[in-house]
Amino acid sequence: MSPRKIILSLVLIVIMVACSNNSELVKDMTLSNNDMATVDEKLGISRNQDEMVFRLFAPLEDQVNLVLFEKFDDANGENLAMLKKNNGVWEVGVPNDKLTKFYAYSASGSQGIIIPDPYSEAVVRQNHFKYPSKSIILPKDNFDWQGDEVTSAAIGDLVILEAHLRDMTAHPTSGAQQPGTYKGFIEPLQKGGIAHLKDMGFNAIEFLPLQEFGNIEIDYKNSELSTWNDWNPYEANHWGYMTSFFFAPEIYYGSDGVKDRGTWIGQDGRAVNEMKEMVRALHKEGISVILDVVYNHVSQYDDNPFKLIDKNYYFRLDEEGDYLSHSGCGNDFKTENTMSRKMIIESLLHWMNEYHIDGFRFDLATMIDLETVDAITAATQAVNPEVILIGEPWGGGGYNPGDLADHGWASWNDHFRNSIKGRNPRENDSGFIFGKLWDGNDTEHYKKLMRGYLQSEGGHYRDPSQSVNYLESHDDNTLGDFIRLSLGKVGADEKVTRAQVAHLSPEELAIHKLAALNLLTSQGPVMIAQGQSWGRAKVIANSVGIDPNAGHLDHNSYEKDDETNWLNWDEKELNQDIVNYYRGLVAIRNQYAELRNVTIGYRQFIDGSGELSYGVAMGNKTKILVLLNADKKAAANFSLPSGSWTILADANQANAGGHGTIEKVAVVPELSGLILAQ
């Protein structure tokens, strides 16, 4: 065992022993002979020299068997009785020469349904909303990382692209030979995927979920089923927030992935190495990889292993024993239980050690108990002290960016988002980039946002590195559509085509540029959504022929298919003006350390001549000035410190090499900004 793995084992033991001291958690175990000293055992498969050991935690079962299958679609296999230990773990060892390729478990309480291993590192699945699945016994790992190690840039340096893997290459305009796949993402001769990140200068990517998820959902308007689906005619979950297996990569993104109903996919586990190849290629380009992970609930419609093993243990239930669904996703995972916490931690370490993942964004992080948050931090930082940990600071009715910050995590700063652009374009609820001070605030509020929205100033964060500043994510309208709706270019109930609205008008361009300049000069890590850099429109496609909302701008496309969600790369070329502006701003941020500095108190402020104007000063003796004017009708004047100032960005262009100089007074036109360097 390597020294690093020894250290990780010790960290896990410390964490689990600490958990065992909590009497409520021990009570939740519901074991008659509870021996918490052994819960640090590795579940799933462990390799020994001559055998593999299979372990499953199922304390309430009377009997569990390991079932070995010769073929992925076999209905029956060889049953091997497992031995129950006094900590609720069932175990059996199988000599290597007796192994087959596929396995699952049968349990006395699972009503005849075979249970794939919840710790599966790869699965084969049949395309159906119930997803019959078997676990794959992979050959010994011999993947060549070519010297790559888990790493990450300093969090304040991050310019993150939030992206859906399939969307980035699925459209024919990407030019990918294997569109929508791990392999397609890293093809060099294309417009999408890794080529786009390199072109724009992004140094991190945050992928929407890549853990194996239930992407096929329940039949539409099928009265023979127990659940009546009248909201999802696509019968899909495109985004991936329905995790089925927390240790396995999504097989639909493998080179053999198809969505044809009834087809078995993932038969040879190729997605494992293909995802590793993608991470390795991104690291070679200096791009950190962040996974969007879901531990607050599990997949809703398939036969999820945790539901089959012990519903009462792993899930929060009401008094009648039904699933609570404060997540809005059919069930809430009981993260506070010892073995739930163990699974979460070991899952994260698996992605770090086996896939070299640099960090994680936690979906609905409010629903993860804070003891588990602390355990996650300790375990992941033992692998990589610079691991990126970002929470979505809401979910289940809660909102806790301050708590997450106190426990060392960064989080999405929705207050930055709302203040800069507004909250609801359909209710004329707009912000700074539209010439308004959002929600009754003044420019002092915006100054606080631009220096990390600190708790000491009434904000959320302990230091600016915890404020992930953004204006668009996969949720809600795109920034481009927010601007279209706010300007009345598209009515709230109007139907359009992407071709009709894709090209940005001069008015839209001005607002986009002010938004981009605000974002990329803010203090703290920056996140940009896919397509944001060209004002992407997300129009509901009439791909199933029965969606009455087809033609509307979409604010929630989780269930839509490719035709609504994919990126049309011709639109990037159509709006080169704003694309060049984003590219230039990213280059400026990457070149000037002053813009990336996340030291508390590093930024100072100056006032402009108008109520809607202010400036940000950075560096010793002021090396960088950012001047902002949100007034729609009047320019703003700023008195400059002595000397000649190079214009890096103005209302028209952004260039790290500069384009002209000014002295003494800077005049910032309406709805625009300047970045000046000395």
Mean residue pLDDT of the chain comes to: 93
- Percent over 90 (pLDDT), the chain: 88
384, 151 contact by CB (below 8 A) = yes
Statement: residue 36 has pLDDT above 50: no
Q: Which of 415, 351, 417, 416 is nearest to 379 (CA)?
A: 351
The residue extents of the domains of the chain are 603-677
User: What is the pLDDT averaged over residues 354-379?
Assistant: 98
pLDDT band at 39 (very low <50, low <70, confident <90, very high): low
Token digits for 160?
């993150």
What 8-state DSSP symbol labels residue 432? G
Lowest mean pLDDT among 7-16, 40-49, 168-177, 264-273: 7-16
Q: Which of 528, 505, 508, 543 is nearest to 583 (CA)?
A: 528
Statement: residue 278 has pLDDT above 80: yes
pLDDT of residue 37: 35
pLDDT, tens digit (0-9, with 9 covering 90-100), for 548-557: 999 999 999 9
User: What is the pLDDT averaged over residues 403-430?
Assistant: 95
Statement: residue 474 has pLDDT above 60: yes
Lowest mean pLDDT among 225-229, 427-431, 538-542, 556-560: 427-431
Token digits for 421?
């652009």
User: What is the pLDDT averaged over residues 300-316?
Assistant: 95
Better-predicted residue by pLDDT, 24 or 614: 614
User: What is the pLDDT averaged over residues 8-31?
Assistant: 43
pLDDT of residue 109: 80
Backbone angles phi, psi at 365, to 5 degrees: -65, -20
Backbone angles phi, psi at 197, to 5 degrees: -60, -45
* Cα–Cα distance for residue pair 54/47, rounded to 1 Å: 9
Helices (H), 116-224: 182-185, 193-200
674, 625 contact by CB (below 8 A) = yes
pLDDT, tens digit (0-9, with 9 covering 90-100), for 163-217: 999 999 999 999 999 999 999 999 999 999 999 999 999 999 999 999 999 999 9
Its CATH class, for the domain covering 603-677, is mainly beta
Tell me the CA distances in angstroms from 582 to 106, 174, 375, 530, 649, one per residue in order: 54, 20, 38, 12, 11
Report DSSP letters for 346-384, one per residue.
Answer: HHHHHHHHHH---EEEETTGGGS-HHHHHHHHHHHHHH-
Tell me the CA distances in angstroms from 20 to 56, 333, 579, one per residue in order: 19, 19, 53
Burial of 23 by CB count in 10 Å (0-12 exposed, 13-18 middle, 19+ buried)?
exposed
Q: Collect all residues with Cβ–Cβ distance below 8 Å to 315 and sequence separation of at least 6.
A: 306, 307, 323, 324, 331, 332, 333, 334
Structural element, H or E, at residue 390: strand 388-391
pLDDT of residue 152: 77
Q: Collect all residues with Cβ–Cβ distance below 8 Å to 413 and sequence separation of at least 6.
A: 401, 449, 453, 460, 461, 467, 468, 469, 470, 524
User: What is the pLDDT averaged over residues 447-466?
Assistant: 97
User: What is the pLDDT averaged over residues 390-410?
Assistant: 97
* Cα–Cα distance for residue pair 113/14, rounded to 1 Å: 36
pLDDT of residue 491: 95
pLDDT of residue 650: 98
Tell me the CA distances in angstroms from 564 to 129, 169, 551, 606, one per residue in order: 21, 14, 10, 44
pLDDT of residue 620: 84
Give Cα 106 distance to the centre of its chain: 34
pLDDT of residue 402: 97
* Cα–Cα distance for residue pair 16/343, rounded to 1 Å: 11
- Percent over 70 (pLDDT), the chain: 94
* Cα–Cα distance for residue pair 284/288, rounded to 1 Å: 10
User: What is the pLDDT averaged over residues 564-592?
Assistant: 98
pLDDT of residue 427: 83
Instruction: Classify residue 306 as left (phi > 0), alpha (psi -120 to 50) or beta.
Output: alpha
* Cα–Cα distance for residue pair 517/363, rounded to 1 Å: 28
Token digits for 307?
């539901």
Q: Which of 620, 609, 613, 623 is nearest to 665 (CA)?
A: 609
Q: Collect all residues with Cβ–Cβ distance below 8 Å to 367 and sequence separation of at least 6.
A: 296, 297, 326, 327, 332, 333, 335, 395, 396, 398
Taking the model in full, what pTM does it have? 0.94
> Which residues does residue 93 pair with via DSSP β-bridges, in sequence order?
53
Q: Which of 661, 142, 447 is nearest to 676 (CA)?
A: 661
51, 80 contact by CB (below 8 A) = no
* Cα–Cα distance for residue pair 231/328, rounded to 1 Å: 14
